[in-house]
Amino acid sequence: MTPDKPAAGGNAFDSFYFAHCCGKPYARNEEWLGFFSGIADRIVADLRPRRVLDAGCAFGFLVEALRNRGVEAFGIDLSPFAIEHVHESVKPYCRVGSVADPLDGPYDLIVSIEVVEHIEPRDAEAAIRNFCAQTGDLLLSSSPLDYREPTHVNVQPPEVWAEQLARHGFFRDVDYDASFITPWAGRFRKAAEPIHRLVRQYERRYWLLQHEASEARAYSVEVQAKLGDAERARDALTLQLASSSSALGEARQTIARMESSKFWKLRSAWVRLRRALGRRRADR
């Protein structure tokens, strides 16, 4: 979570960074603890690792959540400020350090959430190499679009990280949905299959996604057609309402003219007279 290389002039990942550069203020609160608890739940349920490293652990929320679920979890982060804010219960398992330096291990799983985009390209390649050297299973998330954050010095689309991982024999698990971390997160595993088997898996997933996209486009066209029909019906009803309103206005004007005419006044007086005469006859 915390960038691995600070800006020139010192470690920039201090209180200001965590208060203003993480989208929402990064602090020990219900929202962030809940977010990492959800990730821990999925990791335990889906992957069942015994030993995990959170590479870029920040305040150690994921380490804490995993240890609360019985996982032997550890964290590393470049920021002394971040490690100082790790909860006392897991502070012995989190340390200050750079993922660009060789890591201890091995681990059943390494998790790196929004870290490598903060690292200069050469150090990011070293970090990828270090991850691959100490695990066969990696959950990686790196923002592909956020160029505005000042410490994002190596923002790349997912295929760049996938290519670097492939050089070390790691390939995306196309059947695993890691979007519970971020929409662009992925699971990469050390591949034991031959390349033709990997191509088969990628093509299967590509075909399914292509089919889903085609279905979505067809549905969109259908919805647009129905929307067009609804808009035309609305326009017709609007014209009908306008016509009815105009007719109603004309009728009201006609009635007003009639009520103000001499004939109408004489007729009204005659009706009142008849009613009065009728009441008198009834009284007799």
> Which pLDDT tens digit goes with each residue over 92-124?
999 999 999 999 989 999 999 999 999 999 999
* Residues linked to residue 95 through DSSP beta bridges, in sequence order: 76
Which pLDDT belongs to residue 272? Answer: 77
- Residue 245 C-alpha from the chain's centroid: 48
Tell me how far apart the 2 most distant CA atoms of the chain are, in Å.
Answer: 121
Which pLDDT belongs to residue 25? Answer: 73
DSSP assignment, residue 136? S
Segment 31-51 mean pLDDT: 96
Contacts of 137 (CB under 8 A, 6+ apart): 47, 49, 108, 109, 110, 187, 188, 189, 190
CATH, domain 15-192, list 3.40.50.150, 3.40.50.2300, 3.40.50.2000, 3.20.20.10: 3.40.50.150
Q: What pLDDT, in 10s, does the model give residues 220-264?
A: 999 999 999 899 999 999 999 988 888 888 888 888 877 777 777
Q: What is the pTM of this model?
A: 0.72
More confident residue, 20 or 234: 234
Bond into 49 cis (ω within 30): no
For residue 161, what pLDDT band results from cuts at 50, 70 and 90?
very high
Distance CA 193, CA 225 (A): 47
Segment 261-278 mean pLDDT: 74
**277 pLDDT exceeds 80?**
no
**4 pLDDT exceeds 50?**
no
What are the structure tokens assigned to 180, written together? 């519970």
Alpha helices in the chain (DSSP H): 15-20, 30-42, 61-68, 80-84, 121-134, 158-166, 195-260, 262-283
User: What is the chain's Cα-based Rg?
Assistant: 36
Segment 268-279 mean pLDDT: 73
The count of C-alpha atoms lying within 13 angstroms of the C-alpha of 21, restricted to the half-sphere facing its C-beta, is 19
For residue 186, the surrounding DSSP H or E stretch is strand 186-190
